[in-house]
Structure 1
Amino acid sequence: MIDTDAALAPFEVDDLDGDVLLDLISDNTDQEWRAERRRLRLAYQLCVTHPAVEADAASWADGIPDLAGYTDTLGGEGTPEVAAFTVELWATAAGVSTWSAKRTLAAALDLHHRLPRTWAAVEELRIPGWKACRVAEDTNRLSLEAATWVDVELARRGTWGLPTIEKTIKTAMAMFHPDLVKNNGLPGRDDWDVTVDHAAGVDGTSRLDAIGDSVDLETFHSLLADEAATMGRLGDTDTLGQRKAKALGVLADRQATADLLGLLGDDSSGAESETGKPVTRRRSYLKTRLYVHMTLADLAVLAGATTDAATGATGASATADGHVAATNLFGTVHLDTLKAWLQGLGTDARVTPVIDTNRDWSVVHHDPPETMREQVVLRDRHCVFPWCTVDARNCDLDHITPFDEHGPPDQTRPENLAPLCRRHHLAKTHGTWRYVRNRDGTYTWTNHTHAWLVTHDGTTSLTDP
């Protein structure tokens, strides 16, 4: 494997050892620090050359309503304002997400105007840029006075180790913002919530987090532990942790059944509703609509059939090895996992016809009907702005060619609609970005002299560096 050193002299990596290897490791670290310093220099220069005009300032939300706590401008107190959508200029040029771009520009502003001693350490290559960015990010919402104190204190100590940074910032918060450290920063009643994150695991694994009353949560945990212990005595060989996780589903199904049977009474067989129609029992509280994307071959496997390559004969399939399906909520899962879900739900599972994402139709009014919105969401899956990954269900549907109330009747149709998250919808409407939907379903974006191709698999720059 051939590489080059700082002087662009080639060398064979596999031949390195001893002092030469260590020297190149040190040289590589030096190059990384210089690259981080240059990145922050360029970020600040972009901010300087794009000052805000009047009320047109970039913020953590860029004017997006209902985004509590993120209406402040990028830099902290004492930094100059930057023009709206400057963040997108950095994001598209650097090939990073909008959120990453916000953090970089905010750090560059704070280091120059609120943390000059820390920035000087970066300039002199005494600390890496990422540590300086850590200081900037953790002090961004603090007052200018507090940030200055942190900057002076770190410079006085002459060290920017992570424990020192954390301790210094906590001290500043206690001195200048005691309201931020009440309860030692631990969650209180205002933070009570139960959330589920389907992106936190693989193959049908998600994460459940709960913050609530201590007695309630301990009681619930004890109930899960008891259920898990019972499952173990009945022969379940999984670990205690795995059995507690499975007990969540057992308790949910049991409670749903108990609630419904209570409504139907002791003798619930053949029960009818007030309309005279039979009452259908339901075992589950699950209300999620799951969309599954798979090939015809995978569908055949899921249905339990395989085709002999030589004879064309069809027979039973014992496993779904090598076959996976993409879902809208749980990511990519193995077909065996999907089968287990359907079998577990039993009569509670409802299989509905698929939405044809290639259907060509239109309506005369501006707002698309729910079926059309669902078609576009399933087709594109995420915001189609370069490098943006916001889920399409959380996006606006943008008319690629702007809607003209005096125009032709077929303007609102899937081919002229695309999901854009709110900030990128605003960037397209009020900024300089333009895009088209290509015949193959990809998107080409342009801005000044640059262009990008957006596909389901990611973004590619079409402009030579």
Structure 2
Amino acid sequence: MISGLGEMSPEQLLQAAEEGLLEGRRVEVEKLEVLLAWADAFSGDPQDEPNAVPIRHGGPRLIALGGEGTPKVSDLAVAEMAIARQESVFTTRRRTADAFDLRHRLPLLWAGLQALRCEPWVGTKVASMSRKLTLEQVALVDVAVAEALDEAPARILQIAEAKIIEADSVAHQERINRNRTRKGAWCSRKKPGESVEGEAAGVGSVFARIDDADVEAHRQIIEDLATALAANAPAPAEGEEPLPMDHWRAEAFAMLADPAAVLAFLRGETTADAPDTAEVPEAPATSPATAPTAAQVVVHVSANAETGALGPVARVEGLGPMLLSQVRDLLRRHANVTVTPVIDLHTGRSVNGYEHPTDVKLRTELRTIGDVFPHATGSFTRTGRAPDHDHTVAYDKHGPPGQTGDHNDTPLRRHHHRAKTHAGYTVFQLGPDRWIWGTPHGLHRLVTTSGTTAITRGEYYALKALAINLAGDLVA
């Protein structure tokens, strides 16, 4: 236990927090190293030992725990290590398999973990996810993940997921086909007593396993219908809070049981068959939706440098990595599909007004993917709340032209924007996708599209000299 915490300055507490983080990572890596050393000590064939009990009589044998290319270990030796770790044998086997895969199949990722660059649980998760790949296939995952270790855990795992799909797209298509044979929908049935205890009285649950494309179609119609219901709901009584959108989404889902009532509501018609609930508002006087809402799907694809061929994996904003065949499925309900031009993220633009133009905002969000506050995890998706596009260098209405553009745009979630504005943070922009931050009590960070890196005070001031204050070469 750290003594004297109450007497520490804010700077000392921040230092203690950073040291504690690294120490925690170091301990977890050491646990993996202990497992590896134990497994190495029992990697010889126990059947070669003098007077070994034959396998057919229950004697020890070598088993493979990790993926292709990892060594074997005596099965009975794992039990004793599980006792030392105070966990089940199954858990110890699984963690030993992760350690084997990291050392023998993901050496770049393993080196990053030993350098304490990210949380060890992220590395073991990647090892588990990629276990069925061959040695040649898993090398693709290793390189991509090692290059992304400064990013948020969720982003690292998303990159790993995409590369695993890319490395063996045939196996992924087989997973999709297999899962599609296991689709279903289930409605809850109350057990005796549930109606008078807990949260089951008067409500039930519905769960369904359906195609990704069908999930998105349901999500969109429920969101459209819920928005219409909320917009036409009576105003809440004085002192009452309006019902949350989750409530209206539930009402919208319930209305789908009567498609005729849904159509009548959306068309502004009255019907005797409307849902029997006082909380559903009257049909609107004018139609909130007379045709299916247009769908916008933002897809990130890469082309082979030699052949120009696309895929086989694309990243769909809000959905993650998908095979190109799955992307086509998302659009199968739409008779008219418009493909917008590829956005060149290497170009820039500046304007003389205060507001960032739509094309600048879009390029910034596509470049950064998420909030550029240090170590932020929030991603920008088409269904999420739009970020605040803050001027890195404050806009001066009496200042020079060209202050607004790619060169002076820091996309932040609202809370981070408030912290930057009011809590004493400093931030400088080194380019359209690079920022340096200083915190109120002396921490310094470099944020790029590859994540957040801790830098020293000296590095911060050296980089600050390179900060862009005007449009300069980025003006298009």
Give the TM-score category using the shorter length. 0.3 to 0.5
Alignment TM-score, normalising by the size of structure 1: 0.39
